[in-house]
Amino acid sequence: MKLFRKMKKLFILIIVIGILFYAGIFIYVKTSPKLEINSAGNISLYDNNKKLFFQGNESKKWVSLDNISDYVIKATICTEDKSFYKHHGFDFLRILKASYINITNGKTQQGASTITQQYAKNLFLNFDKTWKRKWDEMWYTVKIESNYSKDEILEGYLNTINYGHGMYGIENASKFYFGKSAKELDLAEASILVGVPKAPSNYSPLIDFEASKKRQLVVLDLLVANEVITEEERDKAYNEELNFIGEKERDDLSVAMYYQDAVLKELETINEIPESLSDIKGLKIYTNLDLEAQKNLEDAVKNTIPSESKVEVSSVMMNPNTGGIIALIGGRDYNKSSYNRAVDSMRQVGSTMKPYLYYAALENGFTSSSAFTSEATTFTFNNQENYTPKNYNETYGDKPISMATAIAYSENIYAVKTHLFLGSDALINVARRVGITSKLEDIPSLPLGTNEIGIKEMAAGYAAFANLGYKVKPHLIEKVEDLDGHVLYKASNSKELVLNSSLVFILNNMLTATYDPLYIDYNYPTAIGLNAKLKHKYALKSGTTNSDNWNIGFNKDIVSAVWVGYDNNQELSTNEYKYAQNIWYNSVESYEEGKSDEWYEVPNNVSAVLVDPISGKPVGDDATKKKLMYFIKGTEPTTTDQTFDEKASNKEAT
């Protein structure tokens, strides 16, 4: 009993100290300069012409509480914070209840954030789950509660909350989903929208109608429980047929939504930007977005992949001279899936890995004419394990072929022979030098692209080829300013020479063989269908696995990478293997339209020789089939050059 009295006194003392501490904070905050919330956390994104294309938090369509449906207001309070008008920023009873439930169940099942806390988090803070962020959230919550009325806080919350699809604020959301003002929303419409912010990508009726209806019922039940509506009103609202017009605005909405998300993700990695935006009124972010290129890229996707298909896509278009990403797509439809495959997905890259290998070969004495025999081959390596790669459709020439021919056909046998001949370090070393940071396994199939790499990383790697050996850093953000015009960050756009420019020139010319009819022989170049379509010259390489299809191409002006596949790794059909190539062709030719066709100048230490394109052997002007190919002076081919695998000892012909 004595112990109980002591515990009771201690408990009362703790409560008193807590109340005094809390009161002291409120008094301090009340006498401090007023926290500005109308512009805090505002983020404005601009394209490469300094045209605004996104504005977050500070809504363009701010409406007062008088112009918001009463159903929205009451449903928001009942759903998010029913004691909103009674507490001073924190609902301590709710916190204790949520803590008890979470501790009892051993996992987080309930949250206890008030509307004011959520508003503070949205305005000023990032979303890191750290104690520092929790402390900052508490501090800003107190500041807001001390300086603004409950109606002002609720109005600000409703005008800045995320309702999905890039719609911040109830007025924007109401216009997008239902084509009407927030004041005109009825109970059914209001209860659907109020349910969305908990998880916009899950509860948007345009993404998952069934899930949104379940969430709507939760909102309606809470209104009944709090005696705001009757059960009859609930049932009528739930059964009301809703007419969504989100589709109507999708064309305008989809442009740059994935790009926007990628920008905000990149923003988090810039050290010069403060973790909290409380000390600045907002940010003006100048990006490399080319709206015309972005629109053309999205149109290419829509015009290529049938609307009923479930196949997905990602694409990156980059200025190789700066690393600036001018267009980006992370999926076919942001409304259906906001998962950004261009920045968050890693996929097997297939034969788009081979140019790194062939540059390594050039660096180690190979030339455009260096020959291996195209034949069915079983390789035996260190631990006596056998490896039997196959060419596409098991097509083999059963004769020596040049490196240029191997590139044209995307020969797997030639690639593995080259890889084993050089040693795995050669390929990995080149990949690392051009900026590939993903894990690369030391295995015989490495040049066939069995490792997973992100599309932005691959585009940056190819930019080193487009730059004649200069590595650049891929980036979307060019400059960041605060609203007063102070520059907080500026991209350096620096280049680093990591490859031999003359060897890259030779490689780039070999990469045009993928659509060159001179290479038609026992097989066809992988992109031969583009030969009559292309109006400009490009270096181009495709990559194919059972569930991935890539096309990456470039010239001096642009690097464009396209991936097509299924999120669940479902195998692609024959028709679907053409999607990436068509998207690449249509988007890159739209970008180059009206521009002169400029190719790389021949370096002084490089000579041109007429050769038979398939064998790589030199021929005369009177040859029926001849191709001008490039070599470092002194390495030009002769008619007596040996085939490399005649000297190799690491394979057995089957």
State the residue for tokens 């790669």. 389
Q: Are residues 175 and 230 in the same domain?
A: yes
Specify the number of domains making up the chain: 3
- Beta pairing, strands 42-46 & 52-56: antiparallel
351 belongs to the catalytic site: yes
What is the Cα–Cα distance from 573 to 577, expressed in whole angstroms?
Answer: 7
State the residue for tokens 């009103």. 233
More confident residue, 331 or 148: 331
Q: Are residues 28 and 67 in the same domain?
A: no
pLDDT average, residue stretch 129-154: 70
Catalytic residue among 351, 374, 402, 542: 351
Q: Are residues 457 and 584 in the same domain?
A: yes
Q: Are residues 448 and 568 in the same domain?
A: yes
Q: What is the pLDDT of residue 208?
A: 87
**Position 106 pLDDT exceeds 60:** no
Q: Are residues 401 and 533 in the same domain?
A: yes
* Res. 253 pLDDT band, cuts 50 70 90: very low
pLDDT average, residue stretch 527-537: 95
CATH number at residue 371: 3.40.710.10
Catalytic residue among 58, 80, 145, 155: 80
Of 645, 641, 609, nearest in space to 506 by CA: 609
* Res. 269 pLDDT band, cuts 50 70 90: confident
Of 586, 571, 590, nearest in space to 301 by CA: 586
Task: Flag whether 600 is in a domain.
Answer: yes
Q: Are residues 206 and 349 in the same domain?
A: no
Task: Flag whether 131 is in a domain.
Answer: yes
Q: Are residues 75 and 189 in the same domain?
A: yes
Q: What is the pLDDT of residue 571?
A: 95
Q: Could you tell me which residues come within 8 angstroms of residue 560 by beta carbon, excluding any fewer than 6 positions away?
A: 315, 316, 317, 318, 459, 552, 553, 554, 584, 587, 588, 591
**pLDDT 10s digits, 362-386:** 999 999 999 999 999 888 776 667 8
Task: Flag whether 47 is in a domain.
Answer: no
* Res. 232 pLDDT band, cuts 50 70 90: very high
80 belongs to the catalytic site: yes
**Position 3 pLDDT exceeds 80:** no
What SS3 state is found at 446?
Answer: helix
What is the Cα–Cα distance from 82 to 76, expressed in whole angstroms?
Answer: 8
Tell me if 133 sits within 8 A of 126, measured CB to CB.
Answer: yes
Q: What is the pLDDT of residue 248?
A: 40
Of 29-33, 407-411, 498-502, least confident by mean pLDDT is 29-33
- Beta pairing, strands 282-287 & 42-46: parallel
Which tokens belong to 574?
Answer: 């024959």
**pLDDT 10s digits, 6-26:** 666 666 666 667 666 656 656
Q: What is the pLDDT of residue 127?
A: 45
Task: Flag whether 259 is in a domain.
Answer: no
Assign residue 113 a region: left if phi > 0, alpha if psi is -120 to 50, beta otherwise? beta
Which tokens belong to 323?
Answer: 């690393």
Q: Are residues 1 and 98 in the same domain?
A: no
Of 23-27, 117-121, 161-165, 217-221, least confident by mean pLDDT is 23-27
- Beta pairing, strands 452-453 & 42-46: unpaired
Q: Are residues 219 and 337 in the same domain?
A: no
Q: Are residues 354 and 241 in the same domain?
A: no
Of 261-270, 286-295, 639-648, least confident by mean pLDDT is 639-648
Q: What is the pTM of this model?
A: 0.76
CA pseudo-torsion sign 264, 268, 271, 274: positive
Task: Flag whether 482 is in a domain.
Answer: yes
**pLDDT 10s digits, 577-594:** 999 999 999 999 999 999
Q: Are residues 351 and 413 in the same domain?
A: yes
Task: Flag whether 293 is in a domain.
Answer: no
* Res. 103 pLDDT band, cuts 50 70 90: very low
pLDDT average, residue stretch 124-136: 52
Tell me if 508 sits within 8 A of 358, measured CB to CB.
Answer: no
Alpha helices in 81-208 (DSSP H): 92-105, 115-124, 131-147, 150-160, 170-178, 187-195, 200-203
Task: Flag whether 51 is in a domain.
Answer: no
More confident residue, 381 or 356: 356
What is the Cα–Cα distance from 579 to 570, expressed in whole angstroms?
Answer: 15
CATH number at residue 178: 1.10.3810.10
Q: Are residues 324 and 199 in the same domain?
A: no
What is the Cα–Cα distance from 95 to 111, expressed in whole angstroms?
Answer: 8
Task: Flag whether 303 is in a domain.
Answer: yes
Assign residue 388 a region: left if phi > 0, alpha if psi is -120 to 50, beta otherwise? beta
Of 63-77, 235-249, 427-441, least confident by mean pLDDT is 235-249
- Structural domain including 133 reads 63-254
Tell me if 140 sits within 8 A of 125, measured CB to CB.
Answer: yes
